[in-house]
Amino acid sequence: MKVMLNPDKKQVELIKEGLKRTGGYCPCKVKLPQNKCMCEEFRNQIADPNFYGLCYCGLYLKTKDEDIKPTTK
């Protein structure tokens, strides 16, 4: 298992801009303590051995080590 930034650099840039505007809170959710990036929802998904995929806003990706492929984006 590995947690990494989304390999789509354009998406990461957009989300990081949103995080700056919101003071570090997920730009896709209501500004609540549990939505401070890395949000509680994704931390719970990281702990779930059956979950693999992107966090709600698409900034982070949880993957199996063997799923990681280099990108050219």
Consecutive 10-residue averages of pLDDT for the chain (73 residues): 96 97 95 97 96 96 75 49
Burial of residue 4, with CB atoms counted within 10 A of its CB: 0-12 exposed, 13-18 middle, 19 or more buried: exposed
How far is it, in rounded angstroms, from Cα 73 to Cα 56?
21
User: For residue 4, what pLDDT is reported?
Assistant: 97
User: For residue 70, what pLDDT is reported?
Assistant: 52
The 3-state DSSP class for residue 71 equals coil
User: For residue 65, what pLDDT is reported?
Assistant: 75
User: For residue 50, what pLDDT is reported?
Assistant: 94
